[in-house]
């Protein structure tokens, strides 16, 4: 232990703690560099009368992984049920090896998961697209629940709008284009999760779980996940609503966004004004439209 | 013709905006807020997460979850990552505490 700088000791400790566990959830005998972990532990951990240096270090190694896997499982309970616990744990370990926690809060742990899943379909089982959609909905819930809330447009601001005006989207509003009605799946699986927890009297996440049998057919679905007074809501939207809102979110002017909204639309020109009036009334009622941030900063 | 349609569409959108904003600002007639009342009328479904119902490893400590714009890192649950779920979104322009 002597002669090792504090920085070196911290780096050695961090590398040891972040090293993935064995399939039996114990610390590995050797690290990736081939060093014996018993020797590594002895560099900076003193044994006591009950535990060796290896065993003391192993406690931290295990707790690191248990905590991270628990946190990820907590944010993606439906994905865990779609994949089954064994496949989910393998996915989580592989993901966390590439994207370890780099934030001061575990809230951000799953931030890269959807992108990572797209690059690693080998971890997604048979229903790859469904798993991806479920993960997207669950992450959208995290964002919608935690993000801030911007002031909606006022009547005065609406009075000043014209075709070139740009609008912002509410910070907690999440817009998704899905291959499956994954909101239904997530709702159902979250209900089963809660039911399992209440029947068991405890959180069910640690037990082994087989992939859920799901009767869901592929169907293009457009979804908004948003928050109202501290509660989360799903709202199915039309393709045209999705296209208009995302166009506004990209910073297009109002007139251009309306045009983009009806790209490849089956809604005839005569029906469009009425549809727009209804949509904008709903969006404003839900406080989805705000001043664009760029104007707020100016 | 196209210009006329575009003008009609813009007018319709602005009219909808005005109506929706008026409704959102109106006093709620039930115990729900105007926003929740609007949400119920707009085909939304409760997604199963509420600030008051949310259970968490740090029971009761994640008080700002769902409030958005919350600053994290208060270590309220000493060693249990209390700030998970607190967002740390810093929408007020503040910075999160320095960490690895």
Q: CA-to-CA distance for A263 and A265, rounded, in angstroms?
A: 5
- Beta pairing, strands A174-178 & A168-169: unpaired
B90 is a domain residue: yes
Q: Which of A216, A49, A284, A60 is nearest to B79 (CA)?
A: A60
For residue A287, the chain B residues in CB contact (below 8 A) are 24, 35
Give the predicted TM-score (pTM) of the model. 0.81
Neighbouring residues of A280: CB distance < 8 A, sequence distance ≥ 6:
A289, B12, B13, B14, B15, B16, B17, B20
Length of chain B: 100
Strands (E), A15-172: 168-169
What pLDDT is stored for residue A53 in this prediction? 97
Residue B6 and residue B37 in one domain: yes
**Domain region containing B88:** 61-95
Q: CA-to-CA distance for B54 and A226, rounded, in angstroms?
A: 16
HSE on the CB side for B79, CA within 13 Å? Answer: 3
B49 is a domain residue: no
Asked whether residue B89 carries a pLDDT value surpassing 90, the answer given is: no
Q: CA-to-CA distance for A247 and A100, rounded, in angstroms?
A: 33
**CA nearest to A223 within chain B:** B44
**CA nearest to B83 within chain A:** A105
Asked whether residue B33 carries a pLDDT value surpassing 90, the answer given is: no
Q: What's the number of domains chain B is made of?
A: 2
Instruction: For residue A201, give the 3-state DSSP assignment.
Output: coil
Residue spans of chain A under pLDDT 50: 203-204, 294-298
What pLDDT is stored for residue B43 in this prediction? 72
Nearest neighbour of B10 by CB, restricted to A190, A254, A289? A254
Residue A253, Cβ density class (10 Å: 0-12 exposed, 13-18 middle, ≥19 buried) = middle
Asked whether residue B90 carries a pLDDT value surpassing 50, the answer given is: no
Cβ distance B99 to A103 less than 8 Å, yes or no, reads: yes
- Beta pairing, strands A221-228 & A231-237: antiparallel
User: For chain B, first and last CA: distance in Å?
Assistant: 60
Cβ distance A274 to B12 less than 8 Å, yes or no, reads: yes
B-proximal residues of A, 92-111, CB under 8 Å: 102-109
B47 is a domain residue: no
B56 is a domain residue: no
**Is the CB of B28 inside 8 Å of chain A's CB atoms?**
no
**Is the CB of A139 inside 8 Å of chain B's CB atoms?**
no
Q: Provide the shortest C-alpha distance from residue A126 to chain B (in Å).
A: 26
Mean pLDDT over each residue of chain B, to the nearest integer: 56
Question: For residues B57 and A152, which has the higher predicted lDDT (pLDDT)?
Answer: A152
Q: CA-to-CA distance for A184 and A134, rounded, in angstroms?
A: 10
What pLDDT is stored for residue B42 in this prediction? 66
What pLDDT is stored for residue A44 in this prediction? 93
**Is the CB of A140 inside 8 Å of chain B's CB atoms?**
no
What pLDDT is stored for residue A105 in this prediction? 86
B48 is a domain residue: no
ipTM: 0.80
Cβ distance A153 to B17 less than 8 Å, yes or no, reads: yes
What pLDDT is stored for residue A261 in this prediction? 96
**CA nearest to A68 within chain B:** B81
Q: CA-to-CA distance for A20 and A61, rounded, in angstroms?
A: 8
Q: What ranges do the domains of chain A cover?
A: 1-69, 76-297
Q: CA-to-CA distance for A13 and A166, rounded, in angstroms?
A: 51
Question: A270 φ, ψ to 5°?
Answer: -70, -25
């Amino acid at each position: 232990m002597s002669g090792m700088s504090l920085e070196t000791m911290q780096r050695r400790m961090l590398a040891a703690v972040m090293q993935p566990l064995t399939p039996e959830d114990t610390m590995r005998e050797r690290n990736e560099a081939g060093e014996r972990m018993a020797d590594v532990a002895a560099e900076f951990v003193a044994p006591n009368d009950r535990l060796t240096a290896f065993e003391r270090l192993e406690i931290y190694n295990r707790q690191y992984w248990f905590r991270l896997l628990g946190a990820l499982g907590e944010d993606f309970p439906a994905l865990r049920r779609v994949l089954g616990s064994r496949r989910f744990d393998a996915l989580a370990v592989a993901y966390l090896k590439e994207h370890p926690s780099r934030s001061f809060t575990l809230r951000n742990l799953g931030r890269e998961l959807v992108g990572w899943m797209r690059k690693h379909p080998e971890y997604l089982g048979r229903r790859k697209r469904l798993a991806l959609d479920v993960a997207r909905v669950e992450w959208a819930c995290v964002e919608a629940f935690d993000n801030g809330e911007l002031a909606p447009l006022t009547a005065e601001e609406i009075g000043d709008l014209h075709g070139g005006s740009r609008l912002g989207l509410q910070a907690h509003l999440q817009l998704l284009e899905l291959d499956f009605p994954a909101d239904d799946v997530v709702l159902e699986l979250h209900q089963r999760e809660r039911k399992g927890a209440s029947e068991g009297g405890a959180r069910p996440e640690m037990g082994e779980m087989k992939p859920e049998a799901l009767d869901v057919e592929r169907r293009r679905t457009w979804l908004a996940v948003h928050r109202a007074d501290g509660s989360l809501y799903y709202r199915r939207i039309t393709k045209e609503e999705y296209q208009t809102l995302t166009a506004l979110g990209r910073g297009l002017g109002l007139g251009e966004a309306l045009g983009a909204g009806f790209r490849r639309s089956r809604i005839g020109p005569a029906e469009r004004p009425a549809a727009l009036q209804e949509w904008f009334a709903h969006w404003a009622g839900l406080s989805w439209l705000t001043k664009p941030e760029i104007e707020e900063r100016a | 013709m196209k210009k006329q349609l575009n003008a009609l569409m813009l007018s319709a959108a602005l009219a909808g905006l005005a109506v929706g904003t008026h409704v959102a600002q109106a006093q709620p007639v039930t115990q729900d807020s105007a926003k929740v009342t609007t949400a119920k009328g707009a085909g939304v479904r409760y997604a199963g997460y509420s600030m008051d119902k949310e259970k968490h490893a740090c029971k009761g400590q994640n008080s700002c979850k769902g409030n958005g714009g919350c600053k994290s890192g208060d270590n309220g649950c000493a060693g249990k990552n209390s700030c998970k779920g607190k967002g740390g979104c810093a929408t007020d322009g503040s910075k999160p505490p320095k960490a690895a």
